[in-house]
Amino acid sequence: MVTMEDIESYKAIIAIVGLLITYHVLQYASFKYKEKKLGCEPMFANINDYSFGFRTALEFMKRKRDGEIIDYVHSLFEDGGFDTGSTMIAGRTMINTRDPENIKAILGTQFNDFDLGIRYKQFLPLLGDGIFTLDAQGWKHSRAMLRPQFSREQVAHVQSLELHIQRLFKHIKAEKGQKFDIQDLFFKLTIDTATEFLFGESCSSLVDGLEEGAKTDDDEILEIRKKFPKSFNDSQAILATRAILQDFYWLCNTSQFKYDCKVVHQFTDYYVNKVLNTPTEVLNEKSSGGYTFLYELAKQTRDPKILRDQSLNILLAGRDTTAGLLSFTFYELSRNPEVFKKLQEEIHATFGSGKDARTNEITFESLKKCEYLKAVINETLRLYPSVPINFRTTNKDTSLPRGGGKNGLSPVFMPKGQVVTYFISSCQKNKNIYGKDADVFRPERWFEDSTRKLGWAYLPFNGGPRICLGQQFALTEASYAVTRLVQEFSHIKSYNSEADYPPKKNSQLTMCLQNGAHIALY
Ligand code: HEM
Ligand SMILES: *[C@@H]1O[C@H](CO)[C@@H](O)[C@H](O)[C@H]1NC(C)=O
Ligand SMILES: *[C@@H]1O[C@H](CO)[C@@H](O)[C@H](O)[C@H]1NC(C)=O
Ligand SMILES: *[C@@H]1O[C@H](CO)[C@@H](O)[C@H](O)[C@H]1NC(C)=O
């Protein structure tokens, strides 16, 4: 029996379905209209997994867990024969590109059409309002405020690194030429140097277990200082998960995360308060000896929230990136003895070695003259860019110059709110750009003409107005550390299985070796 009520509910269902269909038809028509108006053609490559992107999402999660996501995505581009394409991921259309022309548009020529999307909200609990999370005016203001802190004179202070390098040597020598994980030590080294640069006091994680910690006047900070490195690590992993969850970031808001954010904030606030309670004359005197970020920034603002947020933003941008670079460098040096030998020759000839190391001659300028060292670092950042995957979101209807039409070379339409993922890691391994041996670690390529004219196809530090502020700082620190290690140790040996090459990569906000860099140095 069909009752009147049933008929009413059928009518309602039909009306809803009708509305939905009309909505989608209108949306499609509007998309097509705008696409045409902007001179665009339909996307050339569309990956359909026939499950609205849920299968893709699961596959990506599995690959990420196994440390394969970077190489997996690369194989999708290579095997699919496209540089820009669309996929659905968990119900949302994503545009993915590794085309230097598109990357140039997103970061450079069409900078104002794109912003960070919901990164601000995803990272808010840890990072607050800082250069790394803000868009528009807030970002402009941050960038103008922080820029002077990264001038050539400020980043050239390599002497302050030496103390930490000596502590690193101590750990390595304690291994007595046996196998150890140098990545673990590099993470400690970079948190120690970064906290010293930012706050004027290192968290001295390399000191643990070997000698008494550098003395502080305060027991309170000693406790927090011990907890800080782990909390900083763990809270960042949560930020990465929140970034992957896109709009559903708020699902990931555990009590452990809140605790870790609190530890990181307490740690930072301790130094901020210390600086704010120090008279300006004393700060001026202190800064004359070396350079401390927070002392300088406090000359521009006395707002504790700004001081905390900006210094944490810098810590996040600068620490793991540099640790990753150093780890991948030694990973590759250990499996390429002839590269190690050439590097050794250059460094020994320029700065001496062992007991005759002329440490005081290693400066910002003299490091810049070490061509082979620069090529080794360039090549490491090519195969292992610290930020392999990044996102931007359109803030208006716009287009990308490539990806549409029959051969993928025509412009494609990007509606407002579209998330675009750009894969620096895949761009920098594209065989059409770098040649057949694009997968091979070969620093010598940096002396060839073809590699010198790369433009937007080599972008480890990003490009355009948001280019990495710390590029010179990072290159100087990494070059200094490599130089000192090569001066001190004449032999290197790899304990990483060649069967596992290319290595599994842990890709959170930044990338490092999933299973560490196991080597011997003596
Ligand atoms: C190997 C080392 C490094 C690499 C590969 C690297 C790479 C990058 C990349 C790709 C971005 C762009 C992020 C985005 O816009 O989404 C960036 C931004 C940034 N980096 Fe670095 N970075 C490194 C080290 C450092 C260091 C040591 C510092 C500071 C001490 C630093 C400070 C910054 C800052 C402040 C930004 C934000 C710039 C802005 O948005 O205006 N970086 N970096
Ligand atoms: C931080 O993470 C890195 C890479 O995952 C790891 O090597 C290091 O031991 C971690 N440090 C702490 C204190 O958890
Ligand atoms: C996460 O938890 C904190 C503390 O309970 C709360 O203030 C915040 O609103 C939560 N964030 C989201 C996005 O749910
Ligand atoms: C390293 O890469 C940069 C950026 O493309 C380039 O300007 C520089 O010449 C390269 N250095 C060497 C030694 O190849």
Quick one: CATH architecture of 55-521? Orthogonal Bundle (1.10)
Protein residue whose Cα sits closest to atom 2 of ligand 4: 378
Q: What are phi and psi of 88, to 5 degrees?
A: -95, 135
What pLDDT score was predicted for residue 201? 85
Pick the range with the lowest mean pLDDT from 119-128, 286-295, 472-481, 497-506.
286-295
Mean of the per-residue pLDDT values for the chain? Answer: 92
Distance 244 CA to ligand 4 centre (A): 32
DSSP H or E run through 449: helix 449-452
Q: Which atom of ligand 2 is nearest to the CA of 229?
A: 13
For 365, other C-beta atoms within 10 Å of its C-beta total 9
Residue 43 DSSP code: B
Which tokens is 108 given?
């450079």
459 has a pLDDT exceeding 70: yes
Average pLDDT over residues 247-256: 92
Q: Which residues pair with 404 in a beta bridge?
A: 43, 410
Ligand 2 lined by 187 (C-beta under 6 Å): yes
3-state class of 115 per DSSP?
strand
Ligand nearest to the CA of 191: 2
Ligand nearest to the CA of 123: 3
Protein residue whose Cα sits closest to atom 11 of ligand 2: 230
Pick the range with the lowest mean pLDDT from 278-287, 379-388, 482-491.
278-287
Ligand nearest to the CA of 367: 4
Burial of 451 (0-12, 13-18, 19+ CB in 10 A): buried
Ligand nearest to the CA of 255: 3
Pick the range with the lowest mean pLDDT from 202-211, 368-377, 468-477, 496-505.
202-211
Taking a C-beta distance cutoff of 8 angstroms, is the pair 370, 343 a contact?
Answer: no
Please tell me the distance from the alpha carbon of residue 159 to that of residue 220, in angstroms, as a whole number: 29
Protein residue whose Cα sits closest to atom 7 of ligand 4: 452
Pocket test of ligand 1: the residue of 468, 480, 507, 512 to mutate, having most ligand atoms within 8 Å of its CB, is 468
Planar angle of CA 134, 144, 424, nearest 5 degrees: 55
Pick the range with the lowest mean pLDDT from 38-47, 148-157, 216-225, 255-264.
216-225
Distances (CA, A) of 475 to 190, 202, 321, 351: 13, 20, 11, 18
Ligand 2 lined by 416 (C-beta under 6 Å): no
Please tell me the distance from the alpha carbon of residue 267 to that of residue 371, in angstroms, as a whole number: 40
Backbone dihedral region for residue 462 (phi beyond 0: left; psi -120 to 50: alpha; all else: beta) = left
Which tokens is 163 given?
């103390």
The residue type of 73 is V
The residue type of 204 is S
277 has a pLDDT exceeding 70: yes
Q: Which atom of ligand 3 is nearest to the CA of 250?
A: 13
Ligand 2 lined by 184 (C-beta under 6 Å): yes
Distances (CA, A) of 81 to 59, 72, 111, 171, 425: 20, 14, 27, 47, 16
Residues lining ligand 3, Cβ inside 6 A? 250, 253, 258
Distance 452 CA to ligand 4 centre (A): 7
What pLDDT score was predicted for residue 286? 74
Protein residue whose Cα sits closest to atom 4 of ligand 4: 458
What pLDDT score was predicted for residue 488? 97
CA atoms within 13 A of residue 60's CA, in its CB half-sphere: 17
Planar angle of CA 90, 94, 96, nearest 5 degrees: 135
Work out whether strand 419-423 and strand 92-97 pair parallel, antiparallel, or are unpaired. parallel
Ligand 1 lined by 225 (C-beta under 6 Å): no
Protein residue whose Cα sits closest to atom 9 of ligand 2: 184
Evaluate the omega torsion of the peptide bond into residue 415 and state whether it is cis, within 30 degrees of 0.
no
What pLDDT score was predicted for residue 209? 52
Ligand 4 lined by 458 (C-beta under 6 Å): yes
Taking a C-beta distance cutoff of 8 angstroms, is the pair 323, 187 a contact?
Answer: yes
Residue 512 DSSP code: E
Ligand 1 lined by 317 (C-beta under 6 Å): yes
Q: Which residues pair with 392 in a beta bridge?
A: 420
Q: Which pLDDT band holds residue 216 (cuts at 50, 70, 90)?
A: low
Question: Which one, of 131, 127, 119, 123, lies nearest residue 308 by Cα?
Answer: 127
Inter-axis angle of helices 219-244 and 182-199, nearest 10: 110
Average pLDDT over residues 468-484: 96
Protein residue whose Cα sits closest to atom 18 of ligand 1: 468
Q: Which pLDDT band holds residue 478 (cuts at 50, 70, 90)?
A: very high
Ligand 1 lined by 325 (C-beta under 6 Å): yes
Distance 374 CA to ligand 4 centre (A): 7
3-state class of 321 per DSSP?
helix
Distance 358 CA to ligand 3 centre (A): 53
What pLDDT score was predicted for residue 208? 64
- The residue among 208 and 265 whose pLDDT is bigger is 265
Distance 148 CA to ligand 1 centre (A): 15
Ligand 1 lined by 318 (C-beta under 6 Å): yes
Q: Terminal CA-to-CA distance of the chain, rounded, Å?
A: 88
313 has a pLDDT exceeding 90: yes
Ligand 4 lined by 375 (C-beta under 6 Å): yes
Average pLDDT over residues 253-259: 95
Ligand nearest to the CA of 226: 2
For 374, other C-beta atoms within 10 Å of its C-beta total 16
Produce one character per residue of 463-472: b if its CB has 16 or more CB atoms within 10 Å, e if not: bbebebbbeb
Distances (CA, A) of 511 to 193, 314, 347, 514: 19, 17, 27, 9
Q: pLDDT tens across 33-46, in order?
A: 999 999 999 999 99
Pick the range with the lowest mean pLDDT from 6-20, 107-121, 201-215, 463-477.
201-215
Distance 253 CA to ligand 3 centre (A): 7
Distances (CA, A) of 489 to 110, 162, 328: 48, 16, 18
What pLDDT score was predicted for residue 289? 64
For 317, other C-beta atoms within 10 Å of its C-beta total 23
Ligand nearest to the CA of 448: 4
Ligand nearest to the CA of 512: 2
Distance 471 CA to ligand 4 centre (A): 13
Percentage above 70 pLDDT, the chain:
97
Ligand nearest to the CA of 251: 3
Pocket test of ligand 3: the residue of 241, 249, 253 to mutate, having most ligand atoms within 8 Å of its CB, is 253
Which tokens is 377 given?
């670092």
Q: What would the DSSP string read from start to end of 154-193? A: HHT--HHHHHHHHHHHHHHHHTTTS-EEHHHHHHHHHHHH
Protein residue whose Cα sits closest to atom 9 of ligand 4: 452
Q: Which atom of ligand 4 is nearest to the CA of 458?
A: 5
Average pLDDT over residues 494-498: 95
Residue 443 DSSP code: G
Ligand 1 lined by 321 (C-beta under 6 Å): yes
Residue 228 DSSP code: H
Please tell me the distance from the alpha carbon of residue 208 to that of residue 221, in angstroms, as a whole number: 15
Please tell me the distance from the alpha carbon of residue 37 to that of residue 54, in angstroms, as a whole number: 32
Q: pLDDT tens across 378-424, in order?
A: 999 999 999 999 999 999 999 999 999 999 999 999 999 999 999 99
User: What residue ranges do the domains of the chain occupy?
Assistant: 55-521
Distance 136 CA to ligand 4 centre (A): 31
